[in-house]
Amino acid sequence: MESTTATQTQTATSDANVKTTGSGNGASAATRAIAAPAPAPPLPPSAPLRSGALPQTFYNPTRVIWGEGCAAQVGPHAAKLGAKKVLVLSDPGVVRAGIPKSVVESITSAGLEAEVYSEVEPDPRIEIVEKALEHYRSGGFDVIVAVGGGSAMDTAKAAAILATNPSPLRQYEGWEKFANEPAPLFALPTTVGTASEVTPFLVITDAAAKFKFTIGSPQAAPRIAFLDPLLVLGLPGNVTAATGMDALTHAIESYTSLLSTPISEGLALHAIRLLSANIRTAVANSHNVSAMNGMLVGASVAGLAFSNTRLGNVHAMAHPLGAFWKIPHGVANALMLPHVMEYNALACPVKMIEIAQSMGESLPLGVGGLTEHEAALRAPAAVRRMMADVGIPLRLRDLGVDKASIPDMAQDAMKSANIAINPRKTTINEIIGLYEKAY
């Protein structure tokens, strides 16, 4: 793709459009009059954690548009909202690769003004969100379009929340803690893992506290997700591997979550099949349209599943690894995944067997074959082979983690609501033990 920079893109678009000003609070047509119904929040640890024990909801507020070249529809959809000026929020690498260019062209072709903002970093800190918010407000923008991976999309979600709700951001940690609908947001993923384009969650780093916190609300989900496989072609192999393993973790943890439902389970298993069938080919050649499309769709399908079920111990333990040691989220998930799956196999052996089969494992059960537990353990074994094939490190020590930090990371992991919905009951001692096994 032709390279461009944020400055070059801004110059080109300002030449093509008459500069407008606005309040930055969004056009009236962009405001939904009726609040979206919220899915059931995670159950407390004392609740009867069994699927169907309490009424559950499956709901997703994001419209999904999929197909090669669908990025060209961003502009017309922004115009339908009554927008005049669109902030395209991305990161420096994505901008250098020229990926936002087609999005900007779509916006300007619809008669709107567009500007690219690229001051985004991995595992975005609160300060990065505040800078993006200031740019949105000072520029008089109507809509935010996130083009990038999870960091860009989570930064955009957080800025959209603060555009209509008072600071500080940390006060909204948890489920449905902010009152006002965020600024209108579209999302176009350029990686194949986070599924932030279809989820109601965002994860932001409080650097001072060395803590990643999660904000969740149906209102935080993007209005529209555009899944354009042309935007992920040429993704570096290590990024495809890390984000793909993130997506697989989403699917597996959603499937085994104590909040899983028949609907979410169908989505999660299909995501496991799509991701397992395509990740090796995608890492080997990210210009393979079929493989990259399978990864992109698989990641979003997994996101639709876990948006309604939450996750489990893997994600609870991965976030401290990112906050303490800046390990990329997908890599942190992959490192912990087989250890947590082995731990959980006693609690949900049949589901582990179904995961293994969805990953392509042949499991001869019964007389002369495998026991149920042996068959269940084939699932984490399949994950380990996949990690080795796509170049994911297998041990925490290989990434510079200090073993002395494990007790502190375990304390942070226990703060996660995902612990309560892990299929096997977990105490801090078991979390410490899992970190030590991964070390």
Q: What is the CATH number of the domain that holds 294?
A: 1.20.1090.10
Residues of the chain with pLDDT > 70, as a percent, come to 87
CA distance 232 to 66: 13
Domain co-membership, 147 together with 11:
yes
181-233 per-position pLDDT tens digit: 999 999 999 999 889 999 999 989 888 887 888 899 999 999 999 999 999 99
Domain co-membership, 355 together with 407:
yes
The residue among 180, 196, 230 that closes a domain is 230
End-to-end CA distance of the chain: 40
Domain co-membership, 372 together with 278:
yes
CA distance 40 to 98: 40
* Structural domain boundaries, residue 116: 6-30+46-230
* Domain membership flag for residue 383: yes
Domain co-membership, 173 together with 295:
no
Q: Which long-range contacts (CB under 8 A, 24 or more apart) does 345-348 make?
A: 345/373, 345/376, 345/377, 345/379, 345/380, 346/373, 346/424, 347/423, 347/424, 348/256, 348/423, 348/424
Domain co-membership, 115 together with 64:
yes
Instruction: Tell me which residue of 206, 129, 215 sits closest to 173, measured CA to CA.
Output: 215
Domain co-membership, 57 together with 105:
yes
CA distance 263 to 301: 11
- Dig out the tokens for 258 from the structure: 């104590």
pLDDT of residue 306 exceeding 60 = yes
Is the preceding peptide bond at 168 cis, omega within 30 degrees of 0? yes
Domain co-membership, 215 together with 263:
no
pLDDT of residue 112 exceeding 90 = yes
Instruction: Please tell me the total count of domains within the chain.
Output: 2
Q: What is the CATH number for 17?
A: 3.40.50.1970
Would you mind telling me the total number of residues written for the chain in this entry? 439
pTM of the entire structure? 0.82
The residues facing 202 across adjacent strands are: 215
- Dig out the tokens for 386 from the structure: 């996949």
Amino acid letter, residue 73: Q
Domain co-membership, 211 together with 272:
no
The residue among 162, 197, 230 that closes a domain is 230
